[in-house]
Amino acid sequence: MTIQQFIDLTNAKLVTPEVPTDREISCGYTCDLLSWVMAHGAADMAWITVQTHMNVVAVAALMDMAAVIAPEGITFEAEVIEKAQEEGIALLECGETAYSLCGKMIAAGVPAD
């Protein structure tokens, strides 16, 4: 699944328009503890989290993740969006719950890891 296919599937909003959406998502993950994600994250992963501060972008960049998804209508601040664009990390905002997003990704064939 590409980032664009995820957007189409979930009606998510891409808030980093300079980041290409044709990048493949290799797996999905949901967690809000940054140190845990650093230990279990992977390249090309789509990470669902309610955390939206600058350190989220740092972790995603360190792990070479494809996207960070904020569920439940949570939004990213402008400086976080700017940094994500610089790092090439897609930031998505979505109204659905993390649970629903994970279910949709799994149903679409995206592995958990």
Q: Where are the domains of the chain?
A: 3-107
Distance CA 32, CA 23 (A): 23
The angle subtended at Cα 56 by Cα 94 and Cα 87, nearest 5°, is 95
pLDDT level of residue 101 (50, 70, 90 thresholds): very high
The overall average pLDDT reported for the chain is 96
DSSP assigned state of 109: T
- Is 113 a residue whose pLDDT tops 80? no
Question: What's the CATH fold of domain 3-107?
Answer: 3.40.1390
Separation between Cα atoms, residue 78 and residue 47, nearest integer Å: 19
DSSP-assigned beta bridge partners for residue 27? 45
Write down the pTM of the prediction: 0.96
Q: Tell me the pLDDT band of 66, cut-offs 50, 70 and 90.
A: very high
pLDDT of residue 34: 96
Q: How confident is the model at residue 79 (pLDDT cuts 50, 70, 90)?
A: very high
CA distance 69 to 30: 9
pLDDT category at 112 given cuts 50, 70, 90 is confident
